[in-house]
Amino acid sequence: MTEFPTLTTPSGAVADGAPGWNRQRHSAMPSYRYRDVHQRVNVPVGHRDWPNARMTAAPLWVPVDLRDGNQALAEPMDPARKRRFFELLIAMGYKEIEVGYPSASQTDFDFVRLLAATAIAPPDVTVVVFTPARRDLIERTVESVRGITNEVVIHLYTATAPVWREIVLGKDRAQLRELIVAGARDVLELAGDLPHVRFQFSPEVFNLTEPDFALEICDAVTELWQASAQRPVTLNLPATVEVATPNVYADQLEYMHRNLARRDGVILSVHPHNDRGTGIACAELAVLAGAQRVEGCVFGNGERTGNVDIATLALNLHAQGVDPMIDFSDIDEIRRTVEHCTRLPVHDRHPYVGDLVHTAFSGTHQDAIGKGMAEHHERAAAQGIAERASQWRVPYLPIDPADLGRSYDAVIRVNSQSGKGGIAYLLRTEYGLDLPRRLQIDLAKRVQQHTDDTGAEITAEELFTLFEQSYTVPDQRITLVRWQIAGGATEIVLDAHGGRRHSVHREVGPVEAVTAALAEAGQPIEILGLTQHSVDQGAGSTAVSYIEYRAAERTGWAFGRDTSVVAASLAAVMNAANAPK
């Protein structure tokens, strides 16, 4: 019978049978089969600078959707989709793009040749092509880039971690070093004299490679390629399979950053994957540790759980006041294009781009957002500046959805989890109705009953319909036929109980006159509160009124709308008089 390791508390005490938080039982999962990454990779970093560093500028973003992302698709992109994706990346402002693996497929080879034959790549964009350290594949790769007038980077890679060396390649450290140097020598021989060509090397699975061996290999390659500030070499250090907490990756990057030879001639790059769900954190900490360049996919597509997500990384910087240097101002169009090209949907809760990421259903969130939006509007008006120019300070919304080309229509949506704040926000923004707080509370109860019964979200249109059904009466038993103010008196004509009732009321306003006439007709109404406002500006604007009333020992709310404030108020009174008992 298998023995599981003993589970202990932070103090070292055995957890089984202990009181409080640490009363746990062993799971049935065989965690003992795996080794802590610290036992496999010991990073001799010593003092760390990265914890105190800050990101004050964007790194060079390099999308690999056309190569790494494409390899991860069940249906790789056809030439038309690949071109459309490339044109999207250009439009977004990327200045270095990995365009393919030309030795792996004819489609990739032909796409690289397209860049040589046409001007679809602007002159300031660097083109990256990918190749293993095998001479015949390097030859094919070099052939694909001949004639391209843009700067070209030939990206050479070989796996270097112990498991890959022993199981996949069957080589020890010395033999693998010679294989890599031979590949680098082939690249130099075949492409060293091509104009505008630079080189890149990736020790694949860098994050599981012994730090001293990774350093030895990288230094050997940069020495052979004579890395210099005039012709820099990109050293790309991938977390090919994410196996550790992000701080370990940061330590590995800082070790390389400090100890690399020819550091001034090296562009230090990272390529995190997302196996542990912390690829974003790995990339950010790696930049703090010295990385200057980040490879990833626009929305994180890639093998297994994906490559690092450039959109999230870039917009994280934007949210901290740092220019991300990539244009996401029409993020929905970007999403549509990526979904078309990859045939993969973007999740509704994907950071920044998902359909629901700027949407609040929770009542407390809605209340805070509504107040924040109102304060933002008022502050901008007081400063005499446009709202888009005013500092963004809205609870629960780290960035202004308008920065991404989105409207505020879907910021607050209502379901059974929502409260009065969200309901009031929708009616205000969609229909111009500024409900009194007590009416908000009353309506929220009705909406809650509706959404509990249906189990579904309620749209703004459905919400307005429910509001009208609750506070207006279309088929009225008592109607206001005419009202007129003349000579200090208000004349009221009601149609009540099958007959016309005429009355004149002096020294009172129209609302008081109508309530008096209703009392005379046997339908007394006590007005407890009256709120009025205009919905639109200028001539022909619509006015609305909300009244809280008491009738026959019950209280309620009624609503009226008309072209004048007085007429709207009288309509509300008549809706109250006709409300079901």
| DSSP string of 49-86, one letter each residue | SGGG----S--EEEE-IIIIIHHT-SSPPPHHHHHHHH
CA distance 80 to 92: 19
CA distance 27 to 410: 42
H-state helical runs in 205-245: 211-224
Mention every residue, 6+ apart, whose C-beta is less than 8 A from residue 487: none
Q: Where are the beta strands (DSSP E) in 352-477?
A: none
CB 155, CB 131: distance < 8 Å: yes
Beta bridge partners of 155: 130, 200
Could you please state the CATH topology (level 3) that the domain comprising 56-342 is classified under.
Answer: TIM Barrel (3.20.20)
How many Cβ atoms are within 10 Å of 281's Cβ, its own excluded? Answer: 17
CA distance 120 to 152: 15
- The SS3 assignment for 495 reads strand
H-state helical runs in 260-417: 279-288, 310-319, 331-342, 363-383
Mention every residue, 6+ apart, whose C-beta is less than 8 A from residue 134: 183
CB 301, CB 52: distance < 8 Å: no
What the block records as the tokens of 274 is 């997302």
Spacing of C-alpha 210 from chain mean position: 36
CA distance 308 to 302: 8
Q: Name the residue ranges covered by the structural domains of the chain.
A: 1-34, 56-342, 363-471, 479-577
HSE-CB at 135 with a 13 A cutoff on CA atoms is 7
CA distance 551 to 553: 6
CA distance 199 to 142: 11
CB 262, CB 279: distance < 8 Å: no
* pTM of the predicted model as reported, rounded to 2 decimal places: 0.75
Each of the 581 residues of the chain gets a pLDDT tens digit; together they read: 444 454 444 454 444 545 555 566 677 888 888 888 777 778 888 899 999 999 999 999 999 999 999 999 999 999 999 999 999 999 999 999 999 999 999 999 999 999 999 999 999 999 999 999 999 999 999 999 999 999 999 999 999 999 999 999 999 999 999 999 999 999 999 999 998 999 999 999 999 999 999 999 999 999 999 999 999 999 999 999 999 999 999 999 999 999 999 999 999 999 999 999 999 999 999 999 999 999 999 999 999 999 999 999 999 999 999 999 999 999 999 999 999 999 999 998 999 998 888 877 666 777 888 888 889 989 999 999 998 899 999 998 899 988 999 876 566 555 545 556 777 878 888 888 989 888 988 898 888 888 888 877 778 888 899 999 999 999 899 999 999 888 788 899 998 888 899 999 988 889 999 999 999 988 899 998 899 998 876 556 789 999 999 988 788 999 999 988 999 999 999 999 999 87
CB 352, CB 319: distance < 8 Å: no
Provide the pLDDT for residue 425: 79
Provide the pLDDT for residue 13: 47
Could you please state the CATH topology (level 3) that the domain comprising 479-577 is classified under.
Answer: Double Stranded RNA Binding Domain (3.30.160)
Beta bridge partners of 543: 534, 562
Residue 99 DSSP label: E
Could you please state the CATH topology (level 3) that the domain comprising 363-471 is classified under.
Answer: Helix Hairpins (1.10.287)
Max distance between CA atoms of the chain, in angstroms, equals 109
Spacing of C-alpha 103 from chain mean position: 35
